[in-house]
Amino acid sequence: MSPASRPSSSSVSSSLGYRHRHLLGIEGLSADEIGALLDLSESYVAQSRGDSKKTALMRGLTVINLFFETSTRTRTSFELAGKRQGADVINMSVAWSSIKKGETLIDTAMTLNAMHPDVLIVRHPESGAVKLLSEKVNCAVINAGDGSHEHPTQALLDALTIRRRRGGLKGLAVAICGDILHSRVARSNIHLLTALGAEVRVVAPPTLLPAAIEGLGATPFFNMREALEGCDIVMMLRLQTERMHGSYVPSTREYFHFYGLDREKLAAAKPDALIMHPGPMNRGVEIDSEVADDIDRSLIRAQVEMGVAVRMACLDMLTRDLRHNDTQAGAS
Amino acid sequence: MGAASKDNGRTAYHNARLLDPASGLDTLGAVLVEGTRIADLGPRLFNGGVPEGIAKIDCAGACLSPGLIDMRVQLREPGEEHKETIKTAGMAAARGGITAMAALPNTEPAVDDVAGVVYIARRAREAKSVKVYTYGAVTRRLAGKEITEIGLLAEFGARGFTDGVKAVADSQVMRRALSYARAHDQVIIQHPEDPALAQGVMNEGAAATRLGLAGIPAAAEAIMVDRDLRLVELTGGRYHAAHVSTGAALEAIRNAKARGLRVTCDTAPHYFTLSEADVGDYRSFAKVSPPLRAEADREAVAQAVADGTVDAVASDHSPHDQESKRLPFAIAEPGIAGLETLLPLTLALVHGKQMSLLDALACLTWRPAEILKLEAGRLAKGAAADLTIFDPDREWRIDPDKFLSKSKNSPFEDYPVRGQALATVVDGRIIYRAEGFGGLLAEGV
């Protein structure tokens, strides 16, 4: 399959949908821009399910996966996305703990510039670090998660998953449950869902809800059943185990009792409410296995599939000008 | 007791001065108890005489109020049963006119898990005496670091959370506790003393200087209350300052209430009855935590009870055996066995014309009930028949040797008081009756 056979990816109108050099976060993106990325992602779902998953769209382009925090799922998903687009993909893992200095990050950027990458995919444990890096490099940057700030491709893949199941997001009630305080997934999702007209509720013990969350457009709840009342989508977040021993939450047992998703609490949501989780799951902590594995309700596996498609679309969109210029250069 | 539980358990308490501080009721009348509940009450009830088939108790004009609620007691069970048990404290409470008490979790082991809460409830059922509620610990093993399973403990009946006689000192832990407890609508009860400042053994002032004892400044309390009030403002949590002893802390609480914060407080009778002068010549029975304060603070506490700033008066019952008290002042245990003296010492404010009888009773009934979210503390149709019948004027002298409590530690030896419980009724059952009261108890049997 040639790139030209995918109308949405090669049409000029859709490339007008997203006009940024980088993808650093969902905050500030318009509904149209998000819509353009989701539309483009749809075509890559089809490609990934087809006989030939790989094209030469990004042939000759270099993608570097720069991870300052361990990750298997997201890194693999980006790697696969880059390879299916025909790019050269390189993985760089850097232990952040060994280089906790601001200058080092800039040094890293200088080193990378010398390698002439075309897209840099960055995950970093500190909020704002990806943006800092993006200001110092000469290529497009995709934020693969920065601290507790944003994880835009996760929000996009969540939106794509919902849209494919429900036709759209407008008017849906979505409950995001768990460690909102430390979650970049929650922040990106709140921005995206509110931009597309969904009603967002966040539920957590008060110690895991950030101050002034209403300012982002989400309604806070302390009680899971109240939060789930009439919901269309229940998004569970992972709770780091080190936060469960008396500092933020007294115990795993208490957390599961009040905030773990099980059949009983899910009963408050709409009968056809769907369940999502960004993974990896802590079964028995934030989600009951029975619920996580319910093939009629759980979208957790679909989310992983959509992840690759969304990341292919992001790579396509951010290298479009680059490829366009190259084509012109070649023609002249 | 046979009469009270006669027939379908119908008993009329007639010829009583009915006092219900929540509604302001103060009238001569009667109460009809049916089984465990109040079936009817009022000034005209049984005006034409009590019908056949109902047991009659002639209160002979004595006061009948909702059962007294003591929101701060230490029961020493489990762990220190040689000082007190749930059973002996229950007997002491009943004699003091108390129908319900809330126990601190500083037992051995501490009540910091569900098993502890369940244990106290079971032992209280077995004691068949006054109602016993328990607080859960705010932090595991009262160590001030990790918050307990507040939600689960509350589901199993804990009525608030406190580290007992220790302050939750770490500001981050206190912030998280106040915040976390919000989700379960639980109150955090603080022993408001900055531990670093409170390393002395009595109030800092002239008396401590003369005696050569290490002082605890009044500021130790005010600093902790000020900090906590800021955290309440930050978290929106519900906060209760226990046994407040200084004018400065009370002023802060008064202001916080005026600003609409969810803040309450209690004090113990000794803080408005005694002062640092009562430590006298190293009297360890007058050693309490926080310490007895300067006379001006004593007056400020009495004033704060009278003007309603103080929500509840609690005995702060802290039983200790002789071995813990008959020691050099600095190393003696702090605390007073107060269950049997709560009512008369509080009534002193009424006799001293500082407050009305109804307002004083409010601090012992519906106001503490409200803090602990108990369905109690009111005389109302359908309410549990928890009643205290007392003579507000009877004069007597406190004799700690005669306490029913296992421990006799009280500085009020031979102290003259007015007011005494005549009978204590829990769920319609008379669990205490003073000698001579209800001489006609057998009537109607």
Of the pLDDT bands very low, low, confident and very high (cuts 50, 70, 90), residue A330 is: very low
CA distance B148 to B394: 46
Tell if the CB–CB gap between B148 and A250 is shorter than 8 Å: yes
A206 neighbourhood in chain B, CB within 8 Å: 179-180, 182-183, 235
Contact B274, B292 (CB under 8 A): yes
Query: Does the pLDDT value for residue A243 go beyond 90?
Result: no
For residue A167, give both structure tokens: 């036709």
Tell if the CB–CB gap between B139 and A246 is shorter than 8 Å: yes
Contact B315, B341 (CB under 8 A): yes
Residue with tokens 């530690």, as numbered in its chain: B409
pLDDT tens for residues A285-304? 899 999 999 988 999 999 99
CA distance A79 to A173: 33
CA distance B129 to B120: 13
Burial of A191 (0-12, 13-18, 19+ CB in 10 A): buried
B149 neighbourhood in chain A, CB within 8 Å: 250-251, 253-254
3-state secondary structure chain A: CCHHHCHHHHCHHHHCCCCCCCECCCCCCCHHHHHHHHHHHHHHHHHHHCCCCCCCCCCCCEEEEEECCCCCHHHHHHHHHHHHCCCEEEEEECCHHHHCCHHHHHHHHHHHHHHCCCEEEEEECCCCHHHHHHCCCCCEEEEEEECCCECHHHHHHHHHHHHHHHCCCCCCEEEEECCCCCCHHHHHHHHHHHHCCCEEEEECCHHHCCCCHHHHCCEEECCHHHHHCCCCEEEECCCCHHHCCCCCCCCHHHHHHHHCECHHHHCCCCCCCEEECCCCCCECCCECHHHHCCCCCECHHHHHHHHHHHHHHHHHHHCHHHHHHHHHHHHC
A248 neighbourhood in chain B, CB within 8 Å: 176
pLDDT at position A10 is 38
B151 neighbourhood in chain A, CB within 8 Å: 250, 254, 257-258
Q: pLDDT above 90 covers what percent of chain A?
A: 75
B182 neighbourhood in chain A, CB within 8 Å: 206, 222
Calculate how close chain B gets to A202, using CA atoms only, in Å.
14
| A250–B contact, CB cutoff 8 A | yes
Q: Which chain A residue has the Cα nearest residue B140? A: A246
> Residue B133, SS3?
strand
For chain B, where do the domains classified as CATH 3.20.20.140 start and end? 67-372
Contact B265, B244 (CB under 8 A): yes
Tell if the CB–CB gap between A253 and B151 is shorter than 8 Å: no
For residue A253, give both structure tokens: 């047992």
ipTM surpassing 0.90, yes or no?
Answer: no
pLDDT at position B333 is 96
Mean pLDDT is lowest, of A1-5, A324-328, B346-350, for A1-5
For residue B239, give both structure tokens: 């906060």
Selected residue of B145, B150, B161, B179 to mutate for chain A interface (largest A Cβ count, 10 A): B179
Other CB atoms closer than 10 Å to residue A283's CB: what's the count? 15
CA distance B422 to A167: 74
Exposure string over A228-255, b if 16+ CB within 10 A, otherwise e: beebbbbbbbbbeeebbebebbbbbebb
| B114–A contact, CB cutoff 8 A | no
For residue A318, give both structure tokens: 């951010």
Tell if the CB–CB gap between B183 and A258 is shorter than 8 Å: yes
Tell if the CB–CB gap between A206 and B151 is shorter than 8 Å: no
Query: Does the pLDDT value for residue A327 go beyond 80?
Result: no
B residues 178-237 lying closer than 8 A (beta carbon) to A: 179-180, 182-183, 235
| A35–B contact, CB cutoff 8 A | no
What are the residue ranges in chain B where pLDDT is below 70? 1-8, 439-445
CA distance B357 to B346: 10
Contact B64, B79 (CB under 8 A): no
pLDDT tens for residues A86-106? 999 999 888 766 666 566 788
> Residue B230, SS3?
helix
pLDDT at position A313 is 97
Residue with tokens 């494919």, as numbered in its chain: A164
For chain B, where do the domains classified as CATH 2.30.40.10 start and end? 10-64+385-441
A222 neighbourhood in chain B, CB within 8 Å: 182-183
Query: Does the pLDDT value for residue A208 go beyond 50?
Result: yes
Tell if the CB–CB gap between B176 and A222 is shorter than 8 Å: no
Q: Which residues contact A299 (CB under 8 A, 6 or more apart)?
A: A161, A162, A165, A274, A275, A276
| CA distances to A55, A169, B137 from A220, in Å | 45, 20, 27
DSSP secondary structure of B298-352: HHHHHHHHHTTSS-EE---B----HHHHSS-GGGSPP-B--TTTHHHHHHHHHHT
Q: Which residues contact A135 (CB under 8 A, 6 or more apart)?
A: none
pLDDT tens for residues A4-36? 334 333 334 445 578 899 999 999 999 999 999
By Cβ distance, the residue of A222, A247, A251 closest to B183 is: A222
A205 neighbourhood in chain B, CB within 8 Å: 180, 183
Q: Which chain B residue has the Cα nearest residue A248? A: B176
- In total, the C-beta contacts within 8 angstroms joining chain A to chain B are 43
pLDDT at position A102 is 60
Residues of B that are catalytic? 316
pTM of the model: 0.91
By Cβ distance, the residue of A205, A207, A245 closest to B146 is: A245
Query: Does the pLDDT value for residue A2 go beyond 70?
Result: no
Q: What CATH architecture is B10-64+385-441?
A: Roll (2.30)
CA distance B116 to B153: 9
| B151–A contact, CB cutoff 8 A | yes
Instruction: Name which CATH class applies to B67-372.
Output: alpha beta
Selected residue of B142, B149, B185 to mutate for chain A interface (largest A Cβ count, 10 A): B149
Angle between helices B219-235 and B171-182 (to 10 degrees): 40
| B139–A contact, CB cutoff 8 A | yes
Of the pLDDT bands very low, low, confident and very high (cuts 50, 70, 90), residue A280 is: confident
Mean pLDDT of A204-224: 96
Query: Does the pLDDT value for residue A284 go beyond 90?
Result: no
pLDDT at position B198 is 96
Residue with tokens 């580290």, as numbered in its chain: B163
Residue with tokens 């404290």, as numbered in its chain: B89
A residues 195-224 lying closer than 8 A (beta carbon) to B: 205-207, 222-223
